[in-house]
Structure 1
């Protein structure tokens, strides 16, 4: 029979392993044509590099807001310097976000990042009556990649025809690590 002390040690080891900080989990992906189509449909697109960072987001998702606030400046700067293509594709999870996403597609491309920034900062944004546009097409294509929620990040190298997908929030450091793995 096991002693109570031995059982306690085994339980402690299990808890320590279960709750330890997880490493970055990137799922390999090879769907170049789907990625190219998503880039065409993306509501926000900055840069034109073979290395792609595509974020599936919902304007009412708190972790999407956290991710955006922490990484927007970095990713836009990298895209402007030609290091990556930074894109954002709608994946509406919260029903009350649908009018925001439709409006985002109705405004000029130059104003979209500001609209996203304002929405994520909780500022009042003007919502007009806009058609749905490509909103559902992005979601269907995202599901082809296995996307089931937000935020989801896709890291892809178009020339190599391979990349990775990550489900959930990750830190700016982990994003840089994923980009460098391309």
Structure 2
């Protein structure tokens, strides 16, 4: 939460043409965490120094990207908007930023039964690579506004086209969060701790990676 003494920070951001969406405490004394539409910044309390990029906590056995971990609360706040393919025997949950015009996104979706069979639940958010004014963005909004989102998404990925639909959801929220997490292409796979895996991973490779990552981060 921002306070009156954040005025110096807001003034410095204004010089750069950056508008903050939220200012909060950071893990480092003397600095604040600033959430913006284009990413996370770390700014000294006096507003004189700004650092852009992920911050890592290396105090434990394995480095932790605290920047992306912070953003996971925003990601989970979008849970009701996600298109979810739940594994019957869930062992892992991944969130995938996807684009219906992306070849490897199609490949990933074609193998959904295999991911699910391995205990991997897949949650989709939209990330139109060509921007928020693109045809892909319009089509994905129609999918996310469909009465049966999963069927609409399945049909689009199978090349059956997209039926126009409208609602008050905003694809821009998905896109902005992707940018904040450092997503620049699709598919981008986000793990439950905010770790981002860029690009396609096959079902078996994904399962092996998730198992190993879980061991490392749990210290087991």
CA distance in 2, matches of 1:132, 1:90: 15
1:2-32: per-residue Cα shift (whole Å, max 9, x none)? Answer: xxxxxxxxxxxxxxxxxxxxxxxxx964433
Equivalent residue in structure 2 for 1:169, among 194, 200, 213: 200
The structure with more helix, counted as a fraction of residues: 1
Note the C-alpha offset of 1:51.
4.1
1:2-41 to 2 correspondence within 5 Å?
Answer: 29-30=65-66, 31-41=68-78
Q: 1:144 to 1:50 in 2, by over 3 A?
A: farther
| Structure 2 residue aligned with 1:52 | 93
Q: How many residues align?
A: 143
Please tell me whether residue 119 in structure 1 is matched to residue 150 in structure 2.
no
Q: 1:86 aligns with which of 118, 122, 125?
A: 122
Q: TM-score, normalised by structure 2?
A: 0.56
RMSD: 2.6
In 1, Cα distance between equivalents of 2:121 and 2:65: 17
Mapped contact 2:115–2:203 kept (Cα < 8 A):
no
Structure 1 residues 178, 132: CA separation in 2 closer, same or farther (over 3 Å shift)?
Answer: farther
Aligned to 2:182: 146
Following TM superposition, the consecutive aligned residue runs of length 4 or more in structure 1 with deviations greater than 6 angstroms are none
Q: Look up the match of 2:107.
A: 66
SS of structure 2 residue aligned to 1:140: helix
Distance 1:33 1:176, change over 3 A: same
1:43 and 1:104 in contact (8 A); partners too: no
Other-structure match for 1:24: none
Please say if residues 29 and 164 of structure 1, whose CA atoms lie closer than 8 Å, have aligned partners that are also in contact.
Answer: yes
Q: 1:138 to 1:124 in 2, by over 3 A?
A: closer
Partner Cα distance (2:95, 2:151) in 1:
18
User: Deviations for 1:118-165, whole angstroms, at most 9, x for unmatched residues?
Assistant: 11110133113x256231111111111110111111122xxxxx3531
Q: Would the aligned equivalents of 1:39 and 1:87 in 2 still touch at CA under 8 Å?
A: no
Unaligned runs of 5+ in 1: 1-26, 157-161
Gaps of 5+ in 2: 1-62, 215-220
1:34 aligned counterpart, secondary structure: helix
Cα–Cα, structure 1 residues 52 and 84, in superposed 2: closer, same or farther, change >3 Å? same
Q: Which residue of 2 aligns with 1:106?
A: 145
Who is 2:32 aligned against? none
| Kept in 2: contact 1:56–1:150 (CA 8 A) | yes
